[in-house]
Amino acid sequence: MDRIGIFGANGRMGQALIEACALSKQCELSAAFVRAQSPLISTPVHHINKAAPTDLSFACESALQACSADVLIDFTLPEGMRRHLESAVKHRIPMVIGTTGLSDEDKQILCEASKHIPIVFSRNYSVGVNLLLNLVQVAATKLADELDIEIFEAHHRNKIDAPSGTALMIGEAIAHAKGWDHDTVAKFDRSNDHSAKTQNEIGYSVLRAGDIVGEHTAFFATMGERLEITHKAASRLTFASGAIRAAQWLRNKPEGLYDMQDVLGLK
């Protein structure tokens, strides 16, 4: 039985992770961490989420040393992730990380940490999205070069980073398949463009509204036809279940930086 510790356990993804952990027969929730200033510290997790064990209380994230977790899961913001990763390395506990909006410096910190502990990092833990990454690469290589390639994504009003990490994953997968440098061909803003788009760019469009969990579409359009490959998530439990699956896969793995493609055997 894998013992799972969750950072940001009081947040929306944290609550979904608790539920996903309860639904799994191969793991159990052993720690639910919140920020040091949270009024929830010492409150039974069961009072907030009925899926949680009745004998477990919210704990300060600094109490990591006292927890009995085999794997830690973190979907918090970059600042918190850096703190949690440092503690995980110190105590040699593997991590599953789903934090988005990471800077180049954050990514370098991840790479350095993976020399000491095994880490699964993905910007999306949905099985469907990771299959979509394979599909868009096939489309990018098999369709004609005279294609207009666009990516659309929609999320709830509170999502901060834009485009989403998943949208960037899709664009990077397409660019890799086409032999392009993604940062060179990515087009995030056309407000100052005064010419028609070219076929060697990947455009991004973003919608933030209401409570949309997550929608992503890759468009491959040419004269006379258009291919759309879409994934829609109806619940955060979709991502949480994938993260729990990654945590179970990660235990006893050697040090290194892995992703959901590794977990699913898609590489």
Tell me, yes or no, if 115 is annotated catalytic: no
Q: How far is Cα of residue 78 from the mean position of the Cα atoms in its chain?
A: 12
Q: What is the pLDDT at residue 251? A: 86
Phi/psi at 221 (5° precision):
-120, 140
Tell me, yes or no, if 155 is annotated catalytic: yes
pLDDT tens, residue by residue, 212-241: 999 999 999 999 999 999 999 999 999 999
Q: What is the pLDDT at residue 85? A: 96
The residue with greater pLDDT, 232 or 67, is: 232
Mean pLDDT of the chain: 94
CB 27 within 8 A of CB 250: no
**Mean pLDDT computed over 4-15:** 95
**Mean pLDDT computed over 160-183:** 95
Q: How far apart are CA 85 and CA 79, in angstroms?
A: 10
**Fold type of domain 2-121+236-264:** Rossmann fold (3.40.50)
Q: Cα separations (Å) of 188 from 154, 182, 260?
A: 15, 12, 26
Residues in the chain: 267
| Pairing between β-strand 202-208 and β-strand 148-155 as defined by DSSP bridges | parallel
| Pairing between β-strand 148-155 and β-strand 214-222 as defined by DSSP bridges | antiparallel
Q: How far apart are CA 96 and CA 216, in angstroms?
A: 23
36 has pLDDT over 80: yes
The residue with greater pLDDT, 252 or 74, is: 74
68 has pLDDT over 90: no
pLDDT tens, residue by residue, 183-212: 999 999 999 888 888 899 999 999 999 999
Point out the catalytic residue in the list 46, 159, 182, 187: 159
Q: What is the pLDDT at residue 63? A: 82
Point out the catalytic residue in the list 46, 107, 116, 155: 155
Q: How far is Cα of residue 55 from the mean position of the Cα atoms in its chain?
A: 29
| Pairing between β-strand 202-208 and β-strand 214-222 as defined by DSSP bridges | unpaired
Q: How far apart are CA 73 and CA 118, in angstroms?
A: 12
Report the percent of the chain where pLDDT is more than 90: 84
**Mean pLDDT computed over 52-79:** 90
Task: Say whether domain 127-233 belongs to CATH 3.30.360.10.
Answer: yes
**Mean pLDDT computed over 241-249:** 96
The residue with greater pLDDT, 95 or 67, is: 95
Strand ranges for 138-185 from DSSP E: 148-155
- Residue ranges per structural domain of the chain: 2-121+236-264, 127-233
64 has pLDDT over 90: no
Least confident of 35-39, 63-67, 125-129: 63-67
